Structure 1
Amino acid sequence: MYWLLKRGLPWALVFTAVYVTCGFVLGWTVSYEVLVAITSPAATNHRALAWVLSLMGWLITPAFVGGAVGYLVSQQADQRRQESAEEVTRRMLEEAGITPPQQASGTAP
């Protein structure tokens, strides 16, 4: 959740602002087509703005979607996990015949 709010939200707001600006300047249909790479940004009236939208479509959109999906998948995996990572590591070491290292008791020698 932290990633979505602290890292993803500012990028989503920037993306929304650019897309809405392009919608008003270029037209909504052209903006969508530039965003999903149907139309080249060079074929628009405002090339610089269209190039920014095109780059956002290629770079930011997949990163945001990938981050959100990764977060959701990790949350589902954590909910299904029955053992902690320490318990799994300890059990694997025992099954491999390796004596797990003793944890410090908290007192200095």
Structure 2
Amino acid sequence: MAQQPPISPPPKDTVAERVRDSYRALSEWNRPVYWLVKRGLPWTLAFAAFYVACGLVLDWTVTYEVLVGITSPAATDHQALAWVLSLVGWLITPAFVGGVVGYLVNRQVDQRRQESAEEVTRRMLEEAGVTLPPQVSGGAP
């Protein structure tokens, strides 16, 4: 009886494989965390990169003041960049924050809802005096 060589363990995953697996595993998280990481993180990273670029070009104080609307973009040395930064500060940032807050509030409301939307609509129509056809049940006649 010949001796078999020992079984070696499988090779370790590469960094790229571990990152890929982690990204695919995001769907196992709850919906708000999944949404914030999958949708919010790319926007946040893009905004941070743009803010850093503006800070390096315009000066950090001027970048902050243009972003929050204290200083006019026309009063800066690089007006085109400052106008884009101003639009980001006035339009995109509030829209993104509002979207995140709206999603999280809607999620909390849905978790506390006792009745489905169809049940609420049927009850409201009945209270308004609208006659509805009887509901069809799944059983045999």
The TM-score range, normalised by the shorter chain, is 0.7 to 0.9
Structure 2 residue aligned with 1:71, among 95, 98, 103? Answer: 103
Aligned partners of 2:115 and 2:134: how far apart in 1?
Answer: 20
Q: Which runs of 5+ in 1 are unaligned?
A: none
1:55 aligns with 2:87: yes
Structure 1 residue aligned with 2:65, among 33, 36, 60? Answer: 33
The alpha-carbon deviation at position 104 of structure 1 amounts to 7.3
Q: Which runs of 5+ in 2 are unaligned?
A: 1-31
Aligned partners of 2:136 and 2:43: how far apart in 1?
Answer: 44
TM-score by length of 2: 0.63
Structure showing greater Rg: 2
Greater helix share, structure number:
1
The alpha-carbon deviation at position 45 of structure 1 amounts to 2.0
What is the alpha-carbon root mean square deviation over aligned residues?
2.4
The alpha-carbon deviation at position 13 of structure 1 amounts to 2.7
Correspondence for 2:7: none
Aligned partners of 2:52 and 2:136: how far apart in 1?
Answer: 58
Aligned partners of 1:34 and 1:5: how far apart in 2?
Answer: 28
The alpha-carbon deviation at position 33 of structure 1 amounts to 0.4
Say how many residue pairs are matched: 106
- RCO comparison, higher one (Cα < 8 Å, 6+): 1
Q: Percent identity, aligned pairs only? A: 79
Correspondence for 1:95: 127
Aligned partners of 1:100 and 1:10: how far apart in 2?
Answer: 48
